[in-house]
Amino acid sequence: MSTGAERFIDELAKREMLPEPIIKRLWDKVANSSSVPSARSLATFLVDKGHLSRADADEALEAAKPQRKPRKPKPEPKEPEVTDASLEAADEQTVPTEEGGAGKKAGKPARRYKKKTKGDNEFDTPLMLLGSGGLVLLLLCGGGILFLLFRESGDALLKDARKAFEAAAYRQAAADYGKFVEKFTNHEGISGARVMLALARIRETPETNFEQRLKKAQQEIPPVEDEEEFPTANEELASILPAIAKGLADKADAATEVEEIGQFRELARDALVLCANTKYVPTRLRDKQELNEIEIVLQRVQFRQEALTALGECLGAMSKAV
């Protein structure tokens, strides 16, 4: 028997609501998953990813519902016809008593009451069993409703977090993603939420405070780099990390003190190490010209730093000689 998710994918394919590659990926997800997702969870996922509109998803879900066959009405038992012959037969079966009155019908034994034995349970009645079954059914229904409400609230919080991130409200996005990650650990969107939380925390630092941004990136990226949804962060990191490296290189170039120059130059080198990590910034997203320009600035800074250091040592030696 096909599952709700399979019928849902069939409807999407029949109505040509999605491209063939996405349909194939959905079939693979259902076939390879240890626990088959529900049709509604697939619909929510496709709507959140922008592959389907809510109206199209609802239409496909409605069409995917199984058609129930109407029950055939049970035939009512036929009542026996009353005829003169049947009345005469009933009179013949009546036995007169000693007092001359009509007695019990012949051939029908007197009703005997079964004596209760020690093992009989007075609560084992159909009514009690029916009530117990109804209670179990109510508990199951209540648990299902709570699960759906819990899931819907998780979907709503995740949607709010995405909207805040897209609107560049990174502090609010970080707060929403943090709540989601803490409360909905079993939600199917938990991996992507962890990755987006790391990005939001990096983004919420001041854009020109390159030292703080570098520190935050070094703290937030490694814990989520093995998440299933980490590749979705590549484009963001391809924008964030080179900007940090360039900002630190420019600070080193503008510094006048040898110690300050060295400090910013080392931080810029640390940022370039993150840029060189293909897991963070794949080659296809890397701006080689921009990275080469940063490298040229750092080489110039290093040369100036060495010259200033040598000059300081020379002046120190001259002052001692005098």
Question: Tell me, what's the pLDDT at 294?
Answer: 96
Question: Tell me, what's the pLDDT at 123?
Answer: 54
Question: Tell me, what's the pLDDT at 42?
Answer: 80
Question: Tell me, what's the pLDDT at 145?
Answer: 44
Question: Tell me, what's the pLDDT at 86?
Answer: 56
Question: Tell me, what's the pLDDT at 261?
Answer: 94
Using a pLDDT cut of 70, give the percent of the chain over it.
Answer: 72
For 35, counting Cβ atoms within 10 Å of its Cβ (0-12 exposed, 13-18 middle, 19+ buried), the class is: exposed
Question: Tell me, what's the pLDDT at 148?
Answer: 41
Question: Tell me, what's the pLDDT at 68?
Answer: 63
- Using the Cα atoms of residue 296, residue 302, residue 305 and residue 309 in order, give the sign of their dihedral: negative
Question: Tell me, what's the pLDDT at 69?
Answer: 57
Question: Tell me, what's the pLDDT at 140?
Answer: 61
| Spans of the chain below 50 pLDDT | 94-107, 110, 113, 141-150
Question: Tell me, what's the pLDDT at 97?
Answer: 47
Q: Would you give the end-to-end CA distance of the chain in angstroms?
A: 99
